[in-house]
Structure 1
Amino acid sequence: MSFIVVRENGLSLIQPDWPDLPANVHAFSSTRLSGHSYAPYDDGLGGTGLNLGDHVGDDISLVSQNRALLNALLPSDVIFLSQIHGNIVVDASELDALPNANVVADASYAKHKRVVCAVLTADCLPILLSSLDGQFVAAIHAGWRGLAADVVENTIQTLRRQGAGELTAWLGPAIGPAAFEVGQDVYGEFFEKIPQLDRFMKTDLTVTGAAKKYYMDIYGVAREILKQQGVDRVYGGNYCTVTQSDLFYSYRRDQRTGRMANLIWKD
């Protein structure tokens, strides 16, 4: 199981239970707790929240304060991507030369020390990767569209072209299989991609007629794609952002809501 730890500045974070993560690699996911944002970006418990998304309608000055709290825990200030549910992968070490740029991508990697890879989520699946020798790290924003568009494959292939060896992965907080109802269109996107897809797409028996619905196990689909890419060391995948409203923002649950950050870097 993953668990929450409280860091020195009072932020409540998800610290991965990641047995083979190299000692020089660090990773965590934020929650909605603490921070400065007010409803609907609050903590869900009557207090202010740690919304880190600057594109969701929150007061930008409060988002900046939240990001400052996060950066205080990091070896360098994080530069967030402009995520579009695609498959573009960028080198996080090149982003510091363009701090005000709108970098369109859904994954980043780093081979240099103290460079933070990060993705924002609020139901989509964050996947963090590390090479077993601790030389490469990556963060992937993997909603169903990104998974269908090969964002995982592109990221892993990019790492391997850079010289990365065996990889290990952690699946951060995402929408759980009991809450992720999708339509026939989503089923079709994965029909040829995932053998025996019905293992991860359970039919919603309450829906009859032509409008067939399924409950998608996004964690299971991601594990299968990682396995296809030769990544067998996969951990995490035991949260549900929709049902655990005391911890997480959820777009599907609330529509207007904040974003959590999922981060990884190496010393």
Structure 2
Amino acid sequence: MLMTARDGLHPGTASQPPWDAFNLGNHVGDEPADVQRHREELAAALQAQPVWLQQVHGNRVVRLSSQTLTTLAETQADGAVTTEPGLVCAIMVADCLPILLAAPEGRGVAALHAGWRGLAGAADLNGLGIAHTGVAALCEAASCDPVDLRAWLGPCIGPTAFQVGPDVLSGFGVDPAQSHPRFIPQSANRWLADLAGLAADRLQTLGLHRIEGGHWCTVSAPSRFFSFRRDRVTGRQAACIWLTGL
């Protein structure tokens, strides 16, 4: 498991402002050659190949294998699962929450991209969020139950920075007139939302008990993390998980 930071693997990272320095996103306006250099450096450091997705704030999870590797690269999905060593499930973020899952005995891993819409299962997802589909996909692939899984929540927009409107509460099925521990009222029709806390709640509801992380705020750490909410035009860091085969 590895989480990258914006200052990169070494001082010689390529991207220039506002994408400086170790940007891994090829969809944010950065020079493609610089992004490719960073992706190659990451693969070399991991000694395994990250599979990059085209994330769309949905709930689709793809299963990575050596047979489907070339066809799945840059496919539209917000989660990846694998049971094969050497394939890296990689999620790019810059305020959204990366969720990494591991099955017991090295039987499988998964990486999920959880913005509020994908986590809530909002709009046409009909309440079926990325946590639901991701946990189900890994359990099926690894032949285990949700209680067997371990989860790690990476850096995301923190609970003191994520100001939302009633549409977000509605997406999570929360009545704005009622108090809720994950939504703190600020003013008329504005709340501070705890994205990592909401994800932990969802995972617990699905049966997971071993949940760690979720303590780092991307917005409040500009030297360490990219943040779309803070900077608008910026890069992407990545959360990666893979099986070593050892």
Aligned equivalents of 2:225, 2:114: Cα separation in 1: 17
Equivalent of residue 78 in structure 1, options 45, 50, 55: 50
CA contact (8 A) 1:190 1:197 kept: no
CA contact (8 A) 1:127 1:139 kept: yes
Which residue of structure 1 lines up, in the alignment, with residue 154 of structure 2?
172
Structure 1 residues 79, 167: closer, same or farther in 2, change over 3 A? same
Aligned equivalents of 1:235, 1:55: Cα separation in 2: 30
Structure 1 residues 164, 73: closer, same or farther in 2, change over 3 A? farther
Which residue of structure 2 lines up, in the alignment, with residue 46 of structure 1?
none
Structure 1 residue 265 and structure 2 residue 242: aligned? yes
Aligned equivalents of 2:154, 2:89: Cα separation in 1: 14
Q: 5+ unaligned residues in a row in structure 1: which ranges?
A: 1-26, 43-48
Over aligned residue pairs, what C-alpha RMSD do you find?
Answer: 1.6
Aligned residue for 1:156, secondary structure, equals helix
Aligned equivalents of 2:6, 2:174: Cα separation in 1: 37
Structure 1 residue 98 and structure 2 residue 71: aligned? yes
Which residue of structure 2 lines up, in the alignment, with residue 41 of structure 1?
19
CA contact (8 A) 2:49 2:86 kept: no
Structure 1 residue 160 and structure 2 residue 139: aligned? yes
Aligned equivalents of 2:62, 2:94: Cα separation in 1: 21
Aligned equivalents of 1:68, 1:224: Cα separation in 2: 36
Which residue of structure 1 lines up, in the alignment, with residue 109 of structure 2?
137
Aligned equivalents of 1:127, 1:200: Cα separation in 2: 18
**Identical aligned pairs, as a percentage?**
40
Aligned residue for 1:246, secondary structure, equals coil
Which residue of structure 2 lines up, in the alignment, with residue 5 of structure 1?
none
Q: Which is richer in helix? A: 2
Structure 1 residue 220 and structure 2 residue 202: aligned? no
Structure 1 residues 255, 111: closer, same or farther in 2, change over 3 A? same
Aligned equivalents of 2:68, 2:190: Cα separation in 1: 40
Deviation of 1:158 after TM superposition, in Å, equals: 1.4
Which residue of structure 1 lines up, in the alignment, with residue 6 of structure 2?
32
Aligned residue for 2:105, secondary structure, equals coil
Structure 1 residue 107 and structure 2 residue 89: aligned? no
Give the counterpart letter for 2:70 in structure 1. Answer: A
**Equivalent residue pairs, number:** 227
| Structure 1 stretch displaced more, 109-118 or 155-164 | 155-164
Aligned equivalents of 1:78, 1:223: Cα separation in 2: 26
